[in-house]
Amino acid sequence: MENEVTLPQKTYSPLIEEYLSRKRKVIPRYLGNEREKETAREHIKEGWKCLNKGFPDFLFYKELLDGKVEGFFVEVKKTPFPNKNPKRGYDINLTPAQKEYHRVLKGMGFEVKVIYKD
């Protein structure tokens, strides 16, 4: 073919190549607090992969044999004090922006969990 174009292969430094080849089974260094680290460890042990550079705190996902992906979002919050109003339900300690993100994600059919830890 006379119009065929060959693009150069993208190359990375050896450090980046090693990072890209690893399976992400370690707890990322950028996790904020112990509640988030514990939540990540628990889900990774169950076989979930973890993304957490976003909002909500985590996206846990598994790649299925048929090529599809299943997953859910998690927001980790400190356990509320006992005197908080229990009628508020799951959204205790969520900011208005977090509540809106959760509402939109659920409206789009995604599962969103809030996990409370001390």
At 89, list the tokens. 């339900």
pLDDT tens profile 58-106: 999 998 899 899 999 999 888 776 655 555 555 567 888 888 888 889 9
Angle (nearest 5°) at CA 50 between 44 and 48: 40
Per DSSP, 88 falls in state G
Whether 28 has a pLDDT exceeding 60, the answer reads no
As a CATH number, domain 27-117 is 3.40.1350
Whether 110 has a pLDDT exceeding 90, the answer reads yes
